[in-house]
Structures are given as structure tokens and as C-alpha cells.
Amino acid sequence: MTELTEATGLGERMVSMTLPNGLVCHFVPKPGYHKTYAMFTTQFGSIDNSFRTSSDADFTTIPAGSAHFLEHKLFDKEDYDAFDLFGKSGASSNAFTSATQTSYLFSGTTAIADNLNILLDFVQDPYFTDATVEKEKGIIGQEIQMYQDDAGWRLYSGILGNLYPTHPVHLDVAGTVESISEITPEVLREIHAAFYHPSNMVLTVVGNFDVEEVAALVTANQAKKDFGPAGMLERGVGPDYDLETILPFRMLTMPISRAKGIVGIKGTEALGDDLEGLRYAVTCRMLLELLFGDSGETYEKLYNAGVIDDSFFTEFTRGRGYNFIALGGDNVDPAVLTESLVDAIANYTSSPDFNADRFARLKKAALGKFYASLNSLESIANQVTDSSFGSTTLFDVPAVMESISFRDVQAVAASILNLDALSVFHIMSEQTEGIADE
């Protein structure tokens, strides 16, 4: 069997191996738990709309929504449905597609070996016909329409459209009814062959299981399959840190009871999947908590004035070639909300919350939240998987958090709280729908 390597820390143990076909596996045993959670992930998401392999002279462009469409279709086989197999084995299963990854998962308390084989086999054994692909277009078309009717989703996609109008991250993960109409079985086979090679994938298993037994099972499962050598895979999408493309303001009207507003700030610095990138991301999230967290004076002032309510949120997102801040929520007059947030951003240095003492308290709280997240199998699996495509691990996070000083927060604030990189999107409460650009 392939050699196992072990890492320990945080009261956790992670055993890893890389199989001859390139598949990276991480096993995190949790003996005191009843459940086991497994996640099988490919580094292929909605932004990967063009690619080239070693046999291609030119880039192949694929329809928007192809990664999500493939996620749906892999469960459906000629003589079985993977959901049914998991159900018979006593497991619950699911899958999701993001901008940069597609993940397939199950959780269960029994028959873990059977369920792992099901997971590996259905993801790696594609089956598509003209009839089943056409049927799926109708199903996903309904899902697309459902998201179009979701004001929260439209708010988020709206600010992405402002910040990244020329980058595919602004496109709906599911695509459009028009784009998925172009998907064929041949398209699905081509992208599966390119992006679902084991060398572009990671398997993470967390829970109550014997590491050596599971490692042997996965090794035997993969040894029976012939994927061929990992070839060149070049992605056509590039990074986007360009300020010139930002749309400063757009507005959408929808038949909703309460209007919404969101402020976005486009990151202009490339963040690597390394310790420095992790450090920047953690610092930026601490910055948002420092300025807008619910224990601060700014939050209390805006809440008491009715500018924000329980719908208020802040987030920092980084992906392959992009990163951004988003904050917003509901307000009868979204201009009042977004103007207040922009004012707080513009004058953050004079905020009563922006000080070293408050930061020291919040850092302790952030460390506590991180350690608490290790009680969740799902959280561990997601964190391990996300770091697997870079050079950091789950065990790096506490040390990175501990090392961040208030001076670091000040430096990151000066870097990312750039008014030239800022954009605003509103959803007004009306009965007609349309987009207007300022």
C-alpha cells in the first residue's frame, strides 16, 4: 500500500497519502464520534469555462453551468441512481458546485466501506445519454428560475456582477437556460476526462473509522481503474484584480416586501494558496469583525438607528484569481444602509472599534471559534479539502491567527479598504423587475 504520512496537532491526527494515479487522500480519525463524513472533490468549478489539454492546439470553451450540470448527472447511471445506493446503505449523500470546486459527499454511521466504494465509483464512472441529458436540462432550468426568484441570491450575484463584469465568477453557478441548452453528452465526457482525473482530486474522510482499513480500501478501489497518466491541464480563465472594469452602482427591482443593499470591495492583490495568503485572509476577516462585529459600537449604533437588522452580514471571499469583501442586508431604503456602510469604511481609522485592545479580545474569540469548529466533522472536512489544493494545512491556522498583530490589521485595512475598488448594488421593493445602470 502507498506510504502513509501523519501529522498531529490541535488534539487532532491527520493521515495522508498520494496514490500512484495522483489522488490525494486525507484521513482524520475521530474515535469518540458515531458518524463518518467523506468528501470527494475536484478542483473544477463554475469559473473554469475554458481549458486546454496536451492533445489540444486551442482552448476549448464550455457552456456556463457545465460544472454544476456534470455534478447533477454523475449520480444518474444506466441501471442505478447513486442516491438510492447510499440510502440502502444507511447514508445521506449530497453534492455542491462552487466557483472553483465540485464536491460529492456522504455521511453515515454504518457500512462506511460500502459507502466509500459507492462514492469513488459513481464519481469516477460517467454515464450520459442524449435522453438523460435533455431531461436534466428541464430540471436544472427550474433550479435556475428558483434562484432568479431568490432576492438574497440576486443581491449576492448582483454585487459580483458589479465587481467582476468581465470575469466568469459573476456568472450563476448553474448557468442560464440558454447556456445549458448547449450541453451535450460529449461536452460532459470531455470535461470529466479533463478535470476528474485523480491527480486533480482530493478525498477527505473524517470520523470514526480505522485509518489503515480505509486507506487499504481506497488503494484497492483505485488500483482497479485505469485513468492513464495525468496530462497537461491549462485553464483559460485568468485572475481579475482590475479596478477599471468595476461597475460603481446598479439596481434591480423585485416583488419583495423589504429592500436590500450590499457594498462590495474588489481585492487588488493576488493571494496565494500559501501561508501568506492564509494570513491575509484571516486578517481581513478579523478586520471585518473589528469594524462591524455585533460586539462593537458601530454595529450597536447602526442597529439602534434601524440601519441594520439581523439580516446584516459581512464576509471576505478568496478564490482562484480573485478576492473581495461583501457586506449588506435589508433596509426599507437600501441607500441609507449602503451610504452608512461606505461612510464607515471611508472613516474606519477614526472608528471607536478600530483599536488594539478590541482586536486582542476578538483574536481570542476567533481562536475559540476555530477550536470549536473542530467538533464538526463537516467543518474539518471542508477545511482540510480547501487547503489541499495549496500548501497550507488545517494545523497552520492557529499559529497564523496567533501571529497577527493590530499593526497587521492596519496594513491589510490600508490595502483592501480602497474606495476606488468599491461598488454598491440595491434591490428595490417593487412589483416589476428590471435592471437599471447608473
> Do 426 and 261 contact (CB within 8 A), yes or no?
yes
pLDDT at 438 over 80: no
Tally of CB atoms within 10 A around 303: 14
pLDDT at 431 over 80: no
Task: Look up 71 and say whether it is catalytic.
Answer: yes
Residues 369 and 426: their CA atoms lie apart, in Å, by 32
Q: What per-residue confidence (pLDDT) applies to 1?
A: 64
Q: What is the mean pLDDT of residues 92-117?
A: 97
Q: For residue range 191-231, what is the model confidence (pLDDT) as tens digits?
A: 999 999 999 999 999 999 999 999 999 999 999 999 988 88
Residues 371 and 373: their CA atoms lie apart, in Å, by 5
- Contact partners, residue 51, CB within 8 Å, separation at least 6: 59, 60, 62, 191, 194, 195, 233, 234, 235, 236
Q: For residue range 133-175, what is the model confidence (pLDDT) as tens digits?
A: 999 999 999 999 999 999 999 999 999 999 999 999 999 999 9
- Domain architecture of the chain: domains with CATH: 5-235 (3.30.830.10), 249-437 (3.30.830.10)
Q: What is the mean pLDDT of residues 347-365?
A: 98
The mean pLDDT value of the chain amounts to 95
Query: Which phi and psi (to 5°) does residue 265 adopt?
Result: -130, 120
Chain length of the chain = 438
> Do 43 and 230 contact (CB within 8 A), yes or no?
no
Q: For residue range 32-83, what is the model confidence (pLDDT) as tens digits?
A: 999 999 999 999 999 999 999 988 889 999 999 999 999 999 999 999 999 9
Q: What per-residue confidence (pLDDT) applies to 436?
A: 45
Catalytic choice (3, 71, 244, 276): 71
Q: What per-residue confidence (pLDDT) applies to 434?
A: 44
Q: What per-residue confidence (pLDDT) applies to 260?
A: 98
Residues 188 and 191: their CA atoms lie apart, in Å, by 5
pLDDT at 419 over 50: yes
